[in-house]
Structure formats: structure tokens, C-alpha cells
Amino acid sequence: MATLLRKIGLIRLHNRDTEDPKHHHNHRGGGGGQQSASLRGKGGGKSSGHKQQHPPGGSGDASPGPGKGKGKRAPELAPRDKPPQPAAGAAGAAGAGGPREPATGARAGPGPAGAAAAGGSLMPAARQQHCTQVRSRRLMKELQDIARLSDRFISVELVDESLFDWNVKLHQVDKDSVLWQDMKETNTEFILLNLTFPDNFPFSPPFMRVLSPRLENGYVLDGGAICMELLTPRGWSSAYTVEAVMRQFAASLVKGQGRICRKAGKSKKSFSRKEAEATFKSLVKTHEKYGWVTPPVSDG
């Protein structure tokens, strides 16, 4: 029985030594056990001299300290605490000192903003188109009125089918005048004039000059220019019609003792537009300086 108990005790010691190597090592080497105990004693003394502060809910080395806890939570809180980043275009505008207009806003689009930006270039074009419409309507009406004249006082032919360039034939003047006698003697059926209408007609006068025959006196000057105040910007009125202007011209020819030139060589020389324009510009400056002479009412 005693022998059996001793065997059981040896078996238990053997199992304990094999299950706990640390105990087996300490059991076999007494010096190593003492050294380990001394090291644990020193570590224990240091640990007891310095208290470690742990946050609530954690203990031991597995629980991180205050510094470690902040370091681990920082990446989780950063996306939440960080303010939302503006878009790339807005960030660039803020860096430049303020919001910028979108890139497409710089172009003049079909919207009101685009129209306002291009207003400087669109307004003159629209105004010119409006003036052309006004001029065209007025001249069409003038042509219709002239075609309905019963006395066939004047007739009109368009130059190169242009509504703004007319050749006007004056068929009649005062039959008691010397000019009418000259027309009969030279078989001149009409006095031909040219009228060109500016863009802002009827608010500006047409430019009128004599083409043929070559006339002397009668307020007809070099190049066929005509000295009449109503043909100047100062004397013109938008109420004047082409028919009224031609009747005034016919009266001026008679008043100024106009004659058909019969001098050899000179009578065949035609008037030029360039010379007429220069002469008209000069006479306008002269009359603006010295004024226009108005004939007495008795002289018509």
C-alpha cells in the first residue's frame, strides 16, 4: 500500500513538471528561481512607487493610457470634425479674393446677360436696320405719290434698281420763262437731276445735283450743285417731299434766270458728282457764316 502511494505521488509530480515548464525550471534551478524572484521584486518595487492612471473601464497594460487613447481616436474623429471642403471652382474663387463668375458667363449668350454684354455692338446694328426700314417705307410712298401726279410734272427712274438712288426728270418749268424758251429751241424735253438719299432720310436731306443739260445761273453751280437752303441740314424738314423739293427747284431756276448753256465746247461738258459735292460743301459753309438771303414775298 505504501509502495502504491509513493508511485501515485511520483506520477503527480511528473505530470506537474511536464505541464508547467516554468515551475519545472524553477524547481530544477534554484539560482534561476532566485534571480527571477529578485527581478520581479525590483519590478514590483518600481510599480508600487509609481501609480499608473487608467481611464475608467480599462485596467492593466491592455487598456491604453490617455495619450494612446487620443492617438487612436484621432483618425476616427477627423472626418467628422473636419469642415466640408468646397468645390475646386469655389476654392479657386475664394483664393482670388471673392466669388468669380462661371466661365460660361463671360460669353455673350442668348440670355439677358449676354444681350447686355453685347449691347454695344447690337444697338448700332438694330438702329441701322430701323433707319433702313423707315427710309424704304418713305421712299416707296414717295414713288407712289409721284406716279399718281396728273400734270406729269416729274418722273422717276431708279439707278441700278436702287431705291435710294433716283434719276428725276423735270418736265415742266414756268412757260413764260426764258428757260422754257431755251428748252423748246434746243429740243430739251426735260432737265435731268440725280437724288441720293442718306441712311437717316427723311430726317436728313437728299443730295441733289443737275446732270443735264448744262445750265448757267438759276442757282446751279459748278458740277451741277444746287444752292438751296432747304437742301442743307439746317434748312431741311422731314415733312418735305420729293415733289415739293422739285417744285421749289423749278421756281429757283426761273427766279435765278437759269439758262441752257449754248457756248461751244462748254455745253457738251457734263457735270461731275465729285465737283458737285465739293461745291455744295463750300457754299454751305459760306451761308452758315453769312446767312441765307430770303427773297421778298412779291418775288414768290
Residues with a known catalytic role: 227
Rounded CA gap, 70 and 91, in Å? 31
Taking the alpha carbons at both ends of the chain, their separation in whole angstroms is 176
Half-sphere exposure of 294 (CA within 13 A, CB side): 4
Sign of torsion, CA 13 19 23 26? positive
Task: Compute how many other C-beta atoms are within 10 angstroms of the C-beta atom of residue 257.
Answer: 13
The per-type count for the chain, helices as H runs and strands as E runs, is: 10, 6
Find, among 229, 225, 219, the residue nearest to 273 by Cα: 225
Q: Rounded CA gap, 65 and 58, in Å?
A: 9
